[in-house]
A = this chain, B = another copy of it.
Amino acid sequence: MLNRFYQTLEAQNDGATQSLGECIARLNFNAEGLIPVITQCHMSGQVLMQAWMNQAAIEKTLVSGHMTYWSRSRRDFWIKGETSGHVQQLVSMRFDCDGDAILCLVEQTGAACHTGRRTCFYLWVDSNNQQVVLQQGENGY
């Protein structure tokens, strides 16, 4: 989606800096004040889950170093692993070109998925486009 603030950043060179506070304030939050967050293992590169943050959850995550989402079902902050122990330590937070998505690289303790699987993305479309197969990649992504 068009975002004039983020558009002004496009032409800058690598190494240019912007105020973090302004970048956060100008993100494209949706009507519920949320933005999608992709969580990736910083070691293996495996994508672990996708969830949501509001502005306060972004700030809590940055200050605490613990991934803190907004739970749409509970309508409350969700400090990942607070009850399970499967915490996610933030390694690197990144915004995309038009400010409507966040990528977080994390150090994952235990499983990211509530089912006990390492990643939430364990339902793979098969090569014939006929079936979905429960699968966990051993190597690669």
How many copies of the chain does the oligomer comprise?
2
Among A49, A50, A125, A136, residue most surrounded by chain B Cβ atoms (within 10 Å): A125
Min C-beta distance of A111 to chain B, whole Å: 11
Flag A84-123 by CB within 8 Å of B: 1 or 0 each. 0000000011111110110101000000011101001111
Contact present for B14 and A125 (CB under 8 Å) = no
Contact present for B131 and A20 (CB under 8 Å) = yes
- A57 CB–B CB distance under 8 Å: no
Q: How far is the CA of A131 from the CA of B86 in the complex (A)?
A: 29
Given the interface contacts A130-B20, A135-B15, does A73 sit within 8 Å of B2 by beta carbon? yes
Could you tell me which A residues sit within 8 Å of B by CB distance?
A: 1-2, 9-10, 12-20, 23, 36, 38, 40, 42, 44-47, 49-50, 62-63, 72-73, 92-98, 100-101, 103, 105, 113-115, 117, 120-126, 129-136, 140-141
